[in-house]
A and B are shown apart, each in its own frame.
Chain A
């Protein structure tokens, strides 16, 4: 039962339920590493909530604290308006968890694995059979039902890992870096699947250090670094926070340092530098700088192999806020 009145938010006149509330959580490991420092955020019903941050930023620690697996020295975590503890089996019954490491029984087949985990939530055999079939369909493992995990490729194994976490149709699904070491085809299938689950009504918490994925599927994003929230909001809001408006990359046949000064003199240019043979021009918000760049190159008869313009990414947001790249 939801009892906390503060667990409802009003958005455009609709009451939106707060699914997860993390308040000032701090966690220090025994070795002295401060994994989380006064971490706070909220996840609302129906969101695909992205936790984005580089490796070691505290994403998995956050998930493990939410799931009451880890001790933390300060703060409070509520799920569905209730305090989350290891013995809140009623809360756990509504959560699906896909861990970062593949966690399945090597001695059970694909179907048996999904059935076992689903059975820990759903007792009714007939209902469970339908759910297991649906989950197998969902991750496209129909041809591998009788396969043992050792016979599956990395991508298929990841899909099995996901199926074991979502088969019981939970209200809240937590996916911790589910696409690590996965081939592009499987990755796309996984991302499509997550969006489908969300459309079916599940609230998703998705952690990743792949900004493209988070940008592609998440409706709300928290960017973490060193156990703290460095920024949060929708991707549009996050991008609007920074001064960068456009990045133009020109691949040149040869690197010429003299060009840098010419490009820096163009209007609205924030920065200009080389990445190997690629000349990168960063411009501020406003109109695109591509015509100015092209005109300059024409005027000076510059040779170039190609030119490419892109809007700011979450990596740019992270870079501007923390001074380092997400993949550092």
Chain B
């Protein structure tokens, strides 16, 4: 334990370490908060202008559209039924409106000249409207005695906006995803501690490491003690970050605080062991190793959707195996499991895979380091 405490002391006395482990993620969180933390999806969406052809309209649809609200006060649609289909077509061709709705052969047609948020919202509403009316007609035809139950259920779905935009977790704020991403990134930052671990143990990385190498201390013991010291400090930093986000910035983590901290713990282990494993595989100076680990971490983070969410969906659908061996992906997946799916089994599966990967990384690091003689020191 003496090695552990001395290592911890060294890490704590290095102001650079403290900045990157604790201060930097907090600064980033604060910037996120100042930038868009106060925003919510509700406040981001304005009332959408919707045009329905007066000569090809459906009263019930217009009525539904007029009643849909973003929140209690703000209507989702500003419905205009004063123009004919021909007039609206001309306005659409002149780019004066973004789209219009008309009914033809009992089908709702939505004509647009381009894609955009307003068009997406309108289309999503129409899709759902169609699903509901089809359902009512089907129940009325096949099982009329259940119609009242169905209508009651449907009546409980008060917000189309939340249905469309917020996924299956009705309490979640989509912008929280940035704070989850920040936590995931802070965990992946642990990879730099991993590089530091290798730098201070591999004899060809520093004179200090060469000196430590000729002592009778077993390399595995050194690796574990250095790892535990890095884990202690980095995990502490991550817990501070989570608590800062929750209690000072008031970021809503639902009831998942304990699970987020657990993710942070396993994620920190994953980050450190990943960094040490890559560092031990790459030959060259510690600076080179740090650079390569940085590039790989960023690439894996990109693949995991930390920067562009759609990339994650693409990987999940086309190369799913990559999602299971990418620590960043496993980390974001477990956090998203809490956010999107409220799925504990999915959450624990991802966390377990990450834990197994971490074990593989640390053992791999030891095997690569064990009994090493170097070409030059």
Contacts and interface: CB of A to CB of B under 8 A. Distances in A.
Interface in B184-231: 203, 206-208, 210-218
Nearest to B203: A69
A89 B371 contact: no
Nearest to A174: B214
B375 interface: yes
Contacts of B207: 99, 101-103
B6 interface: yes
A97 interface: yes
Nearest to A102: B207
Interface in A105-160: 105, 107-108, 112, 116-117, 119-121
Given A69-B210, A112-B6, A120 B215 contact: yes
A64 B377 contact: yes
Q: Interface residues of B toward A: which range?
A: 20 to 34
B10 A105 contact: yes
A107 B211 CA distance: 16
Interface in A76-102: 85-87, 89-90, 92-93, 95, 97, 99, 101-102
Given A70-B374, A108-B10, A103 B216 contact: no
Interface in A36-73: 64, 67-71
A70 B210 contact: no
B216 A93 contact: yes
B376 interface: yes
Given A107-B10, A108-B6, A112-B6, A120 B216 contact: yes
B114 to A, nearest CB: 60
Nearest to A116: B6
B250 interface: no
Contacts of B9: 107-108, 112
Contacts of A69: 203, 210, 213-214, 373-374, 377
Nearest to B204: A69
Nearest to A118: B215
Contacts of B212: 120
B186 to A, nearest CB: 23
Contacts of A103: 206-208, 210-211
B3 to A, nearest CB: 8
Given A101-B207, A107-B14, A108-B6, 15 more contacts: A30-B376, A69-B203, A97-B211, A99-B207, A99-B210, A104-B208, A105-B6, A107-B13, A108-B9, A108-B10, A108-B13, A112-B6, A112-B9, A119-B2, A119-B3
11 contacts: A29-B375, A70-B373, A70-B377, A99-B211, A105-B10, A107-B14, A116-B6, A117-B211, A117-B215, A119-B6, A165-B211
Interface of B: 2-3, 6, 9-11, 13-14, 203, 206-208, 210-218, 370-377
